[in-house]
Amino acid sequence: MSTAKKDYKRVTVKSLVEMKANQEKISMLTAYDYTMAKIVDGAGVDVILVGDSASNVMAGHETTLPITLDQMIYHASSVIRAIHRALIVVDLPFGSYQSDPKEALRSAIRIMKESGGHAVKLEGGKEVKESIKRILNAGIPVMGHLGLTPQSIYKFGTYTVRAKEEEEAKKLKEDALMLEKAGCFALVLEKVPAKLAKEVAESLTIPVIGIGAGNGVDGQVLVTHDMLGMTHEFNPRFLRRYLDLYTEMTNAFQKYVADVKSVDFPNDNEQY
Ligand code: KIV
């Protein structure tokens, strides 16, 4: 089913830049645990993001803000144990890099050392430039994240499309260029107009991976639980659901309850 142009035994940050140069789109999905990561990696997804969206989908928080560095390290180490091919990018959680560049470096080092992740991702533009530089100087690859940056949700007030106005679009373009110049190996653009995202992708040599940013970018990322239809309250326009696991799983659990109640399970072949 894959339409990959080159067979990568192991995806690295260099492979992603090469994919962009070869006009091969990059596939990226989230994972937070061993079992899911094994399936995602085995299916040939290029990049697995251990996103701070774990705060929402794994822990049930309303925002990504509460998840801690220790919790991100726990999720990332579970993912790392499962994978053979994908590049593993781990989100630096809210509060672990915003205060000063030294703290940002300490947090990134903890992620790399304690989880075995391959790169970190952090949100923001020029406000976090010094932190990015410090992390890069330590030899840790950094992925940027612009547009809708959920860690700043209380500043924005809503999860609506970003950079529709000229001024915000201009800042986003400047930040994207700054991230490339600083040495980021890739950039996530979340929920921005497709035309703007295409323009940014065309102006950079590093890959731009979009979520709700149209198809003019160099790759796509979705939250795995959303694309599998395990979550069903969240329905943004950009989300394509590949399964309806919420219904499938509910049916399976209901059938199990009925089988236990009716003593249909376990049957003669299912016991010792
Ligand atoms: O945490 C996450 O899952 C993300 C993606 C939405 C890009 O940052």
Is the residue at 8 inside a domain?
no
Residues 204 and 263 in one domain: no
The finding on whether 211 has its CB within 6 A of some atom of ligand 1 is yes
The answer to whether the annotation marks 121 as part of a ligand binding site is yes
Contacts of 193 (CB under 8 A, 6+ apart): 161, 163, 164, 169, 214
Is the residue at 271 inside a domain?
yes
Residues 17 and 150 in one domain: yes
Q: State the pLDDT confidence band at 1, using cuts at 50, 70 and 90.
A: low
Residues 174 and 55 in one domain: yes
Report, as residue numbers or ranges, the catalytic residues.
190
Q: Which of 77-86, 149-158, 181-190, 252-261 has the lowest mean pLDDT?
A: 149-158
**Alpha carbon of 221 to ligand 1 centroid (Å):** 8
The answer to whether the annotation marks 53 as part of a ligand binding site is yes
d(CA 186, CA 265): 51
Is the residue at 95 inside a domain?
yes
Is the residue at 1 inside a domain?
no
Residues 196 and 272 in one domain: no
With tokens 């774990």, the residue in question is 54
Is the residue at 6 inside a domain?
no
Give the CATH number, domain containing residue 85. 3.20.20.60
- Give which of 123, 113, 188 is closest to 153, Cα–Cα: 123
The finding on whether 124 has its CB within 6 A of some atom of ligand 1 is no
Residues 121 and 22 in one domain: yes
The finding on whether 72 has its CB within 6 A of some atom of ligand 1 is no
Query: Encoding tokens for residue 191?
Result: 């929920």
Q: pLDDT, tens digit, for every residue of 7-49?
A: 999 999 999 999 999 999 999 999 999 999 999 999 999 999 9
Domain count, the chain: 2
Residues 181 and 251 in one domain: no
Residues 167 and 55 in one domain: yes
Best of 26, 36, 53 to mutate for ligand 1, by most ligand atoms within 8 A of CB?
A: 53
Query: Encoding tokens for residue 66?
Result: 């509460």
Please count the CA atoms within 13 angstroms of the CA of 228 that sit on its side-chain side. Answer: 15
Residues 41 and 119 in one domain: yes
Is the residue at 182 inside a domain?
yes
Question: Alpha carbon of 110 to those of 90, 97, 116, 250: distances in Å?
Answer: 11, 12, 9, 38
The crossing angle, in degrees rounded to 10, of helices 166-182 and 194-203 is 30
Closest-lying ligand 1 atom to the alpha carbon of residue 53: 1
Task: Tell me what the mean pLDDT of segment 225-230 comes to.
Answer: 98
Average pLDDT, the chain: 97
Residue 2 has pLDDT above 80, yes or no: no
- Give which of 124, 32, 46, 126 is closest to 79, Cα–Cα: 32
Query: At 96, phi and psi to the nearest 5?
Result: -100, -5
Q: pLDDT, tens digit, for every residue of 50-98?
A: 999 999 999 999 999 999 999 999 999 999 999 999 999 999 999 999 9
Is the residue at 86 inside a domain?
yes
pLDDT of residue 5: 81
**Alpha carbon of 9 to ligand 1 centroid (Å):** 25
Residue 246 has pLDDT above 90, yes or no: yes
Q: Give me the domain span that covers residue 271.
A: 244-272
pLDDT of residue 63: 97
Residues 53 and 109 in one domain: yes
Residues in the chain: 272
Residues 123 and 57 in one domain: yes
Residues 96 and 137 in one domain: yes
**Alpha carbon of 53 to ligand 1 centroid (Å):** 6
pLDDT of residue 4: 82
To the nearest whole percent, how much of the chain has pLDDT over 90? 96
Q: pLDDT, tens digit, for every residue of 108-153?
A: 999 999 999 999 999 999 999 999 999 999 999 999 999 999 999 9
Closest-lying ligand 1 atom to the alpha carbon of residue 121: 8
Is the residue at 4 inside a domain?
no
**Alpha carbon of 61 to ligand 1 centroid (Å):** 14
Residues 248 and 261 in one domain: yes
Which residue, judged by its Cα, is nearest atom 5 of ligand 1? 51
